[in-house]
Chain A
Amino acid sequence: NAGVTQTPKFRVLKTGQSMTLLCAQDMNHEYMYWYRQDPGMGLRLIHYSVGEGTTAKGEVPDGYNVSRLKKQNFLLGLESAAPSQTSVYFCASTDSTREAYEQYFGPGTRLTVT
Protein backbone atom coordinates (compact mmCIF):
# COMPACT_ATOMS: atom_id res chain seq x y z
CA ASN A 1 0.00 0.00 0.00
CA ALA A 2 1.98 3.01 -1.31
CA GLY A 3 -0.62 5.65 -0.37
CA VAL A 4 -0.27 8.77 -2.54
CA THR A 5 2.60 8.92 -5.02
CA GLN A 6 3.70 11.79 -7.26
CA THR A 7 5.74 11.86 -10.45
CA PRO A 8 8.23 13.45 -11.04
CA LYS A 9 9.94 14.50 -7.79
CA PHE A 10 11.86 17.37 -9.39
CA ARG A 11 11.59 19.24 -12.66
CA VAL A 12 13.12 22.33 -14.24
CA LEU A 13 11.21 24.00 -17.06
CA LYS A 14 11.88 26.98 -19.26
CA THR A 15 9.26 29.70 -19.57
CA GLY A 16 6.61 28.65 -22.09
CA GLN A 17 7.23 24.90 -21.83
CA SER A 18 4.48 22.52 -20.83
CA MET A 19 4.39 19.56 -18.49
CA THR A 20 2.08 17.21 -16.63
CA LEU A 21 2.36 16.17 -13.01
CA LEU A 22 0.94 12.78 -12.13
CA CYS A 23 -0.67 11.83 -8.85
CA ALA A 24 -1.71 8.27 -8.06
CA GLN A 25 -3.40 6.81 -4.98
CA ASP A 26 -4.08 3.19 -4.13
CA MET A 27 -6.55 3.79 -1.28
CA ASN A 28 -9.68 3.88 -3.48
CA HIS A 29 -10.38 7.46 -2.39
CA GLU A 30 -13.05 9.44 -4.23
CA TYR A 31 -11.74 12.94 -3.54
CA MET A 32 -8.39 14.19 -4.79
CA TYR A 33 -6.69 17.60 -4.58
CA TRP A 34 -3.77 19.57 -6.00
CA TYR A 35 -2.04 22.20 -3.84
CA ARG A 36 0.93 24.47 -4.24
CA GLN A 37 3.13 25.50 -1.33
CA ASP A 38 5.17 28.67 -1.42
CA PRO A 39 7.28 30.27 1.35
CA GLY A 40 5.12 32.49 3.54
CA MET A 41 1.92 31.53 1.68
CA GLY A 42 1.04 28.15 3.10
CA LEU A 43 -0.78 25.46 1.14
CA ARG A 44 -3.18 26.79 -1.49
CA LEU A 45 -5.71 24.67 -3.37
CA ILE A 46 -5.35 24.71 -7.16
CA HIS A 47 -8.00 22.22 -8.35
CA TYR A 48 -9.84 19.29 -6.87
CA SER A 49 -11.98 16.33 -7.94
CA VAL A 50 -14.89 14.66 -6.16
CA GLY A 51 -14.82 11.57 -8.35
CA GLU A 52 -13.76 10.03 -11.64
CA GLY A 53 -14.53 12.35 -14.55
CA THR A 54 -15.10 15.43 -12.35
CA THR A 55 -12.90 18.46 -11.64
CA ALA A 56 -13.44 21.84 -9.97
CA LYS A 57 -11.46 25.03 -9.40
CA GLY A 58 -9.82 25.83 -6.11
CA GLU A 59 -8.31 29.03 -4.80
CA VAL A 60 -5.54 29.55 -7.42
CA PRO A 61 -6.55 27.72 -10.66
CA ASP A 62 -5.23 30.14 -13.29
CA GLY A 63 -2.54 28.67 -15.55
CA TYR A 64 -3.34 25.07 -14.61
CA ASN A 65 -5.61 22.35 -15.98
CA VAL A 66 -6.50 18.98 -14.49
CA SER A 67 -8.02 15.68 -15.52
CA ARG A 68 -9.37 12.68 -13.59
CA LEU A 69 -9.90 9.98 -16.20
CA LYS A 70 -9.35 7.16 -13.71
CA LYS A 71 -10.36 7.10 -10.06
CA GLN A 72 -6.82 6.45 -8.86
CA ASN A 73 -5.10 9.17 -10.94
CA PHE A 74 -5.27 12.96 -10.90
CA LEU A 75 -3.19 14.89 -13.45
CA LEU A 76 -2.10 18.52 -13.18
CA GLY A 77 -1.05 20.25 -16.39
CA LEU A 78 0.85 23.44 -17.05
CA GLU A 79 0.28 24.47 -20.69
CA SER A 80 2.73 27.38 -20.78
CA ALA A 81 4.89 27.55 -17.68
CA ALA A 82 5.70 30.90 -16.06
CA PRO A 83 8.30 31.77 -13.39
CA SER A 84 5.39 32.49 -10.99
CA GLN A 85 4.58 28.77 -11.11
CA THR A 86 7.87 27.88 -9.44
CA SER A 87 6.66 26.07 -6.35
CA VAL A 88 6.31 22.75 -4.58
CA TYR A 89 3.19 20.89 -5.68
CA PHE A 90 1.38 18.42 -3.45
CA CYS A 91 -1.38 16.00 -4.26
CA ALA A 92 -3.76 14.71 -1.60
CA SER A 93 -6.76 12.41 -1.31
CA THR A 94 -9.63 11.84 1.10
CA ASP A 95 -11.86 8.87 1.84
CA SER A 96 -15.32 10.41 1.52
CA THR A 97 -17.11 7.17 2.40
CA ARG A 98 -16.51 7.54 6.14
CA GLU A 99 -16.83 10.59 8.32
CA ALA A 100 -13.14 11.21 8.94
CA TYR A 101 -12.28 13.94 6.38
CA GLU A 102 -8.50 13.99 6.82
CA GLN A 103 -6.43 14.32 3.66
CA TYR A 104 -3.41 12.16 2.90
CA PHE A 105 -0.59 13.84 1.03
CA GLY A 106 2.01 12.72 -1.47
CA PRO A 107 5.72 13.54 -1.20
CA GLY A 108 5.54 16.55 -3.52
CA THR A 109 7.02 17.74 -6.81
CA ARG A 110 9.51 20.58 -6.74
CA LEU A 111 9.13 22.62 -9.94
CA THR A 112 11.42 25.43 -11.04
CA VAL A 113 10.53 27.59 -14.04
CA THR A 114 13.40 29.67 -15.42
Chain B
Amino acid sequence: EDQVTQSPEALRLQEGESSSLNCSYTVSGLRGLFWYRQDPGKGPEFLFTLYSAGEEKEKERLKATLTKKESFLHITAPKPEDSATYLCAVLRKGSNYKLTFGKGTLLTVNP
Protein backbone atom coordinates (compact mmCIF):
# COMPACT_ATOMS: atom_id res chain seq x y z
CA GLU B 1 0.00 0.00 0.00
CA ASP B 2 1.29 3.44 -0.93
CA GLN B 3 1.98 5.75 2.00
CA VAL B 4 2.75 9.46 2.22
CA THR B 5 3.69 11.16 5.48
CA GLN B 6 4.18 14.91 5.71
CA SER B 7 5.94 16.75 8.49
CA PRO B 8 5.56 18.91 10.37
CA GLU B 9 1.76 19.09 10.54
CA ALA B 10 2.01 22.84 11.08
CA LEU B 11 4.84 25.34 10.75
CA ARG B 12 4.90 28.95 11.77
CA LEU B 13 7.62 31.21 10.32
CA GLN B 14 8.51 34.84 10.45
CA GLU B 15 8.67 36.67 7.14
CA GLY B 16 12.09 36.03 5.62
CA GLU B 17 12.79 32.96 7.77
CA SER B 18 13.66 30.11 5.38
CA SER B 19 12.67 26.52 6.15
CA SER B 20 11.73 23.16 4.62
CA LEU B 21 8.70 20.90 4.56
CA ASN B 22 9.18 17.13 4.41
CA CYS B 23 7.27 14.45 2.50
CA SER B 24 8.29 10.84 3.17
CA TYR B 25 6.83 8.20 0.88
CA THR B 26 6.60 4.47 0.37
CA VAL B 27 5.51 3.31 -3.07
CA SER B 28 6.45 0.35 -5.24
CA GLY B 29 7.42 1.95 -8.52
CA LEU B 30 7.22 5.73 -8.34
CA ARG B 31 5.86 7.40 -11.47
CA GLY B 32 5.89 10.88 -9.99
CA LEU B 33 5.73 12.95 -6.81
CA PHE B 34 3.54 16.05 -6.76
CA TRP B 35 3.37 19.17 -4.63
CA TYR B 36 0.20 21.21 -4.34
CA ARG B 37 -0.74 24.39 -2.54
CA GLN B 38 -4.18 24.75 -1.00
CA ASP B 39 -5.60 28.03 0.27
CA PRO B 40 -8.50 28.02 2.76
CA GLY B 41 -11.82 27.31 1.05
CA LYS B 42 -10.22 26.50 -2.32
CA GLY B 43 -9.14 23.48 -4.30
CA PRO B 44 -5.52 22.30 -4.42
CA GLU B 45 -3.35 24.17 -6.92
CA PHE B 46 -0.63 22.24 -8.73
CA LEU B 47 2.96 23.38 -8.07
CA PHE B 48 5.51 20.75 -9.16
CA THR B 49 6.01 17.23 -10.41
CA LEU B 50 9.26 15.36 -9.67
CA TYR B 51 9.95 12.14 -11.51
CA SER B 52 13.29 10.76 -10.34
CA ALA B 53 15.74 10.99 -7.44
CA GLY B 54 18.02 13.98 -7.74
CA GLU B 55 15.52 16.08 -9.64
CA GLU B 56 14.83 19.66 -8.51
CA LYS B 57 12.17 22.16 -9.54
CA GLU B 58 11.89 25.85 -8.63
CA LYS B 59 9.14 28.42 -8.68
CA GLU B 60 9.67 31.83 -7.13
CA ARG B 61 10.56 31.22 -3.46
CA LEU B 62 9.81 27.48 -3.62
CA LYS B 63 12.22 24.69 -4.50
CA ALA B 64 11.25 21.01 -4.50
CA THR B 65 13.78 18.18 -4.32
CA LEU B 66 13.43 14.41 -4.47
CA THR B 67 15.34 11.42 -3.09
CA LYS B 68 14.38 7.73 -3.20
CA LYS B 69 12.55 8.02 0.12
CA GLU B 70 11.47 11.63 0.56
CA SER B 71 10.89 15.03 -0.96
CA PHE B 72 11.54 18.44 0.48
CA LEU B 73 9.82 21.71 -0.28
CA HIS B 74 12.27 24.48 0.56
CA ILE B 75 10.85 27.93 1.13
CA THR B 76 13.37 30.74 0.86
CA ALA B 77 12.64 34.11 2.48
CA PRO B 78 8.90 33.43 2.74
CA LYS B 79 6.28 36.15 2.59
CA PRO B 80 2.85 36.19 4.28
CA GLU B 81 1.23 35.34 0.95
CA ASP B 82 3.03 31.98 1.05
CA SER B 83 0.77 30.98 3.95
CA ALA B 84 -1.26 27.92 2.86
CA THR B 85 -1.49 24.18 3.30
CA TYR B 86 1.06 22.32 1.18
CA LEU B 87 0.10 18.85 0.01
CA CYS B 88 2.35 16.09 -1.25
CA ALA B 89 1.11 13.17 -3.38
CA VAL B 90 2.62 10.15 -5.13
CA LEU B 91 1.65 8.31 -8.28
CA ARG B 92 2.52 4.64 -8.58
CA LYS B 93 3.24 3.14 -11.97
CA GLY B 94 0.24 1.28 -13.37
CA SER B 95 -2.25 2.84 -10.92
CA ASN B 96 -4.58 4.48 -13.47
CA TYR B 97 -3.20 7.89 -12.55
CA LYS B 98 -4.55 7.59 -8.98
CA LEU B 99 -2.71 9.84 -6.54
CA THR B 100 -2.09 9.04 -2.87
CA PHE B 101 -2.01 12.23 -0.80
CA GLY B 102 -0.40 13.10 2.48
CA LYS B 103 -2.33 15.04 5.11
CA GLY B 104 -0.51 18.27 4.40
CA THR B 105 1.57 20.88 6.23
CA LEU B 106 -0.14 24.09 7.30
CA LEU B 107 2.34 26.92 6.79
CA THR B 108 1.77 30.28 8.43
CA VAL B 109 4.13 33.16 7.66
CA ASN B 110 3.85 36.11 10.01
CA PRO B 111 4.79 39.63 8.86
Contacts and interface: CB of A to CB of B under 8 A. Distances in A.
A31 B95 CA distance: 12
A108 B43 CA distance: 6
A48 interface: yes
Contacts of A90: 43-44
A61 interface: no
B99 A108 contact: no
Contact of A43 (B49, B87, B91): B87
Contacts of A41: 103
Contacts, number: 55
Given A50-B96, A96-B97, A106 B103 contact: no
Interface of B: 31-32, 34, 36, 41-46, 49, 87, 89, 91, 96-99, 101-104
Given A100-B49, A102-B49, A107-B42, A94 B97 contact: yes
Contact of B43 (A48, A101, A102, A105): A105
Interface string A101-114: 11111111000000
Given A42-B102, A42-B104, A43-B87, A101 B44 contact: no
Contacts of A48: 96, 98
16 contacts: A40-B103, A42-B87, A42-B103, A42-B104, A43-B87, A43-B101, A48-B96, A56-B96, A90-B43, A100-B49, A101-B91, A102-B49, A103-B46, A103-B99, A105-B45, A107-B43
